[in-house]
Amino acid sequence: MPSAYLLVSHGSRDPRPEFAMEQLVRLLADSSAQISASNQQQCRDRFYRASTLSVSSIKPPLVDKACLELSSLSLAQQIKEFSDRALTQGYKKIQIVPVFLLPGTHVKEDIPAQVAIAQQTIGNEVTINLRPHLGTHPGLVRLLAATMTRNDMTSWILLSHGSRRPGAKEPVKAIAKQLNAVDAYWAVAPSLEARIQALVTAGHQQIGILPYFLFAGGITDAIAQLVAQLQASFRTKLHLTEPIGASAELAGLIWDLVEK
């Protein structure tokens, strides 16, 4: 039975992440529609003249977004509204994907709690499946590596927001290791400036900075300003790449998560 898909982000007062989520919804809908069309053709090829299977009954995908915070409705209420819409279109299952890079409190506690409230409110008419958060997909490393390949730098820094929560740095360190980069953090040590200083001292003259952020926003603006200041302070080339951003490749990773 086909599922409806709901992408859950943090929410922001900056309009850019909201716009990027809208793009991601469209990209995921396009991706799943193409797969549905391919499946229909395979069904026709396989069962033509030999089955009463109605491939035309395959429904187009229903995809939308919701916010954990900074919305007039709680996430549970947003899920309930989406569930009502899905039910009227014949869907009995909803796949929810947290569009978060790291497994913090929002992913581990807040979103599951809201999903549980929504499921209790909805009852048995629609089943909600909470999928792993986006950051669990190993393909994210490939996206970052592709960005590095397009920019010829002698060393790289993977810059994440950072948290004082125990163990919060470990996923970032693991990704940085796979990329042959060093980790740095916006809110905690080691800072971007400290990492750049260490690399310059070690003789690196071309340093790339990968923001481990999904979309552009206030923090990435502040990072760009800081990099410009550091560029003036250090006698080396600093190159700041764009955040990951909404793309067909990112939508493909989300599709993998909902179809596993």
The amino acid present at 89, given as its one-letter code, is Q
Rounded mean pLDDT, 161-174: 95
Question: Among 28-42, 120-134, 220-234, whose mean pLDDT is lowest?
Answer: 28-42
Which of 22-26, 30-34, 248-252 is least confident? 30-34
> Dihedral of CA 45/49/52/56: which sign?
positive
Q: What is the pLDDT of residue 53?
A: 46
The pair of three-digit structure tokens given for residue 223, joined into one six-digit string: 């990072």
The domain 152-240 having CATH identifier 3.20.20.140: the answer here is no
Structure confidence at residue 55 as a pLDDT band (50, 70, 90): very low
Question: How high is the pLDDT of residue 235?
Answer: 84
Claim: this prediction has a pTM higher than 0.75: yes
Asked if residue 209 lies in contact with residue 239, where contact means CB atoms within 8 angstroms, the answer is: yes
Work out the average pLDDT over 208-235: 96
Strand partners of residue 6: 64, 96
CATH top-level class of 4-135+247-259: alpha beta
Residue spans per domain, the chain: 4-135+247-259, 152-240
Return mean pLDDT, the chain: 91
Higher pLDDT, 260 or 73: 73
What is the per-residue pLDDT for 186? 98
Q: What are phi and psi of 157, to 5 degrees?
A: -120, 130
- Per-residue pLDDT at 35: 57
* Section 165-181 average pLDDT: 96
The pLDDT, as a whole number, for residue 61 is 87
Percentage of residues in the chain with pLDDT exceeding 70? 89
In this predicted structure, the answer to whether residue 57 has a pLDDT above a threshold of 90 is no
> Residue 118's CB: how many other CB atoms inside 10 A?
23
pLDDT of residue 43 exceeding 70: no
Same fold, 4-135+247-259 and 152-240: yes
Where do the H-state alpha helices sit in 48-132?
75-88, 105, 111-122
Report d(CA 27, CA 7) in Å as an integer. Answer: 12
Q: Which has more pLDDT, 43 or 89?
A: 89
Share of the chain above pLDDT 90, in %: 86
Instruction: Indicate if the pLDDT at residue 125 is higher than 70.
Output: yes
Instruction: Indicate if the pLDDT at residue 18 is higher than 60.
Output: yes
pLDDT at 140: 97
Residue 216 identity: A
Lowest mean pLDDT among 68-72, 95-99, 184-188, 256-260: 256-260
